[in-house]
């Protein structure tokens, strides 16, 4: 199980602030993001991605570990 | 001394003391945006005794701002935010210097404004301005204290601090879709909390105490009282030179129009046709709403022209007119266009329609 956290406008799309996902095969970060995008249709939303509190490249082929926490952080604009 | 009494409760902190107060009173901070974030940042910086504070905002106070922009009075609705904020914080602390800039931050004024200050605070509600602030901070080598809100969540970070990562390192894609407060909704305390985090980072940098949020973004959830910090690295691809800045923000776009597309305006008194050829050049053109100022005299005789008027500039072939448009744009003329092909194209058309 990995945990995925959603913030701001991304959480509006997912309608939850976090979820736990299980996966059987090896899963890369890039593939996880593709799957989430298909599931939630983020479309024009921009966000940065963190793994274990560290912002990483979205194109990373990093293989997710079961204890990883992924976060999707869109920029905010209010003030 | 009166001054030491004013700051006594903070100077007795061992982390501040008299030396720290000296640092605060010598510091210069520019706050971009006098909205919800600014309304919480400005009084605290002024109260702490920040020696020079600049406020940039071209907006006026609207009654719908007052629930969160709590430094303004209802009687000030319709007045300039920058001027009113200046009044308020000068009253709070008359010992500091406050400058109000009731203008929109742009590629034209950002660098000269930033150069006068040590720390730049982003209290705006607009993503494209955040990129502009970031880029101007890179060019002038100033730290940028970022804060923004989405409903009950806020983000805070300090960019470009001692060569640390920038806004573009965190958000490289310049996507301008994020919702601001007007569209997403917000409650005053949320912006107040995030603004307070920003003011705190400003004072930490001035005093050299604590850990500055450089290379880290703090995300705060006011409903859950949860906060998390995320680390990010500097990307060398995200720097910007002065030349690249000018190219991106200040490139003159000279608009050309064909004469036939403006033909129906040749008798419109609100429009001016400006002939920049020399007096002795022919063929002559005599439109009703036309004046002639040779290109070499345009700058000298610029007071003959009205910045707010729509002006079509022409010359013999359409080259000097483009130079004139560029020149006028540099003098803040916004509605000037060049007639493509110049008199040679115009004459042909005027003959065809027998004007």
CA triple B120-B126-B129, angle to 5 deg: 50
Quick one: closest CA in A to B172, which residue?
A: A48
Please provide the CATH number assigned to the domain covering A2-73: 3.10.20.30
Residues of A in contact with B38 (CB under 8 A): 79
Superfamily in which the B256-352 domain is placed by CATH: Rhodanese-like domain (3.40.250.10)
CA distance B352 to B40: 66
Residue in B38, B177, B226 to test binding to A, most A beta-carbons within 10 Å: B177
Q: What DSSP state is assigned to residue B192?
A: H
Classify domain B2-249 at the CATH topology level. Answer: Rossmann fold (3.40.50)
CA distance A61 to B297: 63
- The arithmetic mean of pLDDT across residues B298-316, rounded, is 93
Residue B355 or residue B353, greater confidence: B353
**Minimum-distance CB partner of B178 among A9, A53, A54:** A9
Listed range (B27-36, B200-209, B221-230, B275-284) with the worst mean pLDDT: B275-284
Query: Which residues of chain B are in CATH 3.40.250.10 domains?
Result: 256-352
User: Which pair of tokens denotes residue B30?
Assistant: 């520019």
Across the beta sheet with B290-292, the strand order is: B256-257, B336-339, B310-314, B271-275, B290-292
**Alpha-carbon distance A42 to nearest alpha carbon in chain B (angstroms):** 12
Q: What share of chain B is helix, strand, coil (3-state, %, to 5)?
A: 40, 20, 40
Q: What is the 3 state secondary structure string of B48-102?
A: HCCCEEEEECCCECCHHHCCCCCCCCHHHCCCEHHHHHHHHHHHHCCCCEEEEEC
Helices (H), chain B: 2-11, 17-26, 36-48, 81-92, 110-115, 127-140, 167-170, 181-184, 188-207, 242-249, 259-262, 295-298, 320-330, 342-352
Q: What is the mean pLDDT of chain A?
A: 93
Residue B1 confidence class, pLDDT cut points 50, 70, 90: very low
Q: Tell me the per-residue pLDDT of B270-295, one tens digit each, with 9 for 90 and over.
A: 999 999 999 999 898 888 899 999 99
Query: Which residues of chain B are in CATH 3.40.50.720 domains?
Result: 2-249
* pLDDT for residue B333 is more than 70: yes
Contact B125 A77 (CB under 8 A): yes
The B residues from 127 to 186 touching A (CB cutoff 8 Å) are: 127, 130, 147-151, 153-155, 170-171, 173, 175, 177-181, 184, 186
pLDDT for position B354:
61
**Alpha-carbon distance B164 to nearest alpha carbon in chain A (angstroms):** 15
Q: Is B37 on the interface with A (CB under 8 A)?
A: yes
Interface confidence, given as ipTM, is: 0.95
pLDDT for position B181:
66
pTM listed for this prediction: 0.82
Residues of B in contact with A53 (CB under 8 A): 228-231
The residue among B186, B58, B45, B65 whose CA lies nearest residue B73 is B65
């Amino acid at each position: 199980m990995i945990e995925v956290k959603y913030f701001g406008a991304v959480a509006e799309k997912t309608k939850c602030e976090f979820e736990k996902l299980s996966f059987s095969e090896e899963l890369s970060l890039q593939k996880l993001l593709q799957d989430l995008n298909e599931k939630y249709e983020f479309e024009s939303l921009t966000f940065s991605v963190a793994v274990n509190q560290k912002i990483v490249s979205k194109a990373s082929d990093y293989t997710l570990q079961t204890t990883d926490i992924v976060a999707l952080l869109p920029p905010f604009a209010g003030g | 001394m009166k001054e030491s009494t004013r700051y006594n409760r903070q100077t007795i902190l061992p982390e501040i003391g008299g030396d720290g107060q000296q640092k605060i009173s010598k510091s210069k901070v520019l706050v971009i945006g006098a909205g919800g974030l600014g309304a919480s940042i400005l009084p605290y910086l002024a109260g702490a005794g920040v020696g020079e504070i600049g406020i940039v905002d071209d907006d006026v106070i609207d009654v719908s701002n007052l629930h969160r922009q709590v430094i303004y009075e209802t009687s000030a609705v319709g007045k300039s935010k920058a001027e009113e904020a200046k009044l308020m914080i000068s009253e709070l602390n008359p010992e500091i210097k406050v400058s109000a800039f009731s203008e929109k931050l742009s590629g034209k004024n950002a660098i000269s404004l930033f150069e006068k200050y040590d720390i730049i605070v982003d209290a705006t509600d607009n993503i494209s301005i955040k990129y502009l602030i970031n880029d101007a901070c890179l060019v002038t080598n100033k730290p940028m204290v970022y804060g923004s809100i989405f409903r009950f969540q806020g983000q805070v970070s300090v960019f470009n601090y001692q060569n640390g990562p920038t806004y573009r390192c965190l958000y490289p894609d310049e996507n301008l879709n994020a919702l601001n407060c007007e569209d997403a909704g917000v409650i005053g305390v949320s912006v107040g909390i995030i603004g307070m985090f920003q003011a705190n980072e400003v004072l930490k940098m001035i005093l050299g105490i604590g850990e500055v949020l450089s290379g880290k973004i703090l995300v705060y959830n006011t409903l859950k009282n949860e906060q998390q910090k995320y680390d990010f690295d500097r990307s060398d691809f995200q720097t910007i030179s002065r030349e690249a800045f000018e190219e991106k923000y200040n490139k003159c776009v000279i608009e050309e129009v064909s004469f036939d597309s403006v033909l129906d305006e040749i008798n419109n008194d609100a429009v001016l046709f400006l002939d920049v050829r020399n007096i002795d050049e022919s063929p002559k053109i005599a439109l009703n709403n036309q004046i002639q100022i040779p290109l070499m005299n345009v700058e000298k005789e610029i007071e003959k022209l009205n910045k707010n008027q729509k002006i079509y500039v022409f010359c013999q072939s359409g080259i000097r007119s483009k130079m004139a448009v560029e020149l006028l744009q540099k003098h803040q003329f916004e509605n000037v266009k060049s007639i493509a092909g110049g008199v040679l194209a115009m004459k042909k058309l005027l003959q065809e329609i027998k004007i």
